[in-house]
Amino acid sequence: MLVSLPNQTGQLKIGVTASQTVGGAVQRNRVRRRLKACFDEFIPDMYPGWDLVAVARRPIVEAEYSEIRSGVARLLKQAGLMVER
């Protein structure tokens, strides 16, 4: 799940969260690291001036990195946050 709000700073801010329903501390930290890495790949193609919060859900624990990456890309496109090139 992705929550987005415009901000007045003109900067892109991204936060990632995973609750205990995702798993133990090791699993949650791994999920957060993988999500952050995916978002980092898309930062050059994203509009500035947004606050984003990505909320991890349980199925992400078993997902491959490529599946997470395509899911992040889909969410960003649906939210209209990707620059068309």
3-state secondary structure of 55: strand
pLDDT in tens, 43-55: 999 999 999 999 9
pLDDT in tens, 26-47: 999 999 999 999 999 999 999 9
CA nearest 48: which of 9, 17, 2? 9
Whether the Cβ atoms of residue 47 and residue 85 lie closer than 8 Å to each other: no
CA nearest 43: which of 11, 20, 66, 16? 11
* Full set of structural domains in the chain with CATH: 2-78 (3.30.230.10)
Q: What is the pTM of this model?
A: 0.91
Which amino acid is located at 4 in the chain? S
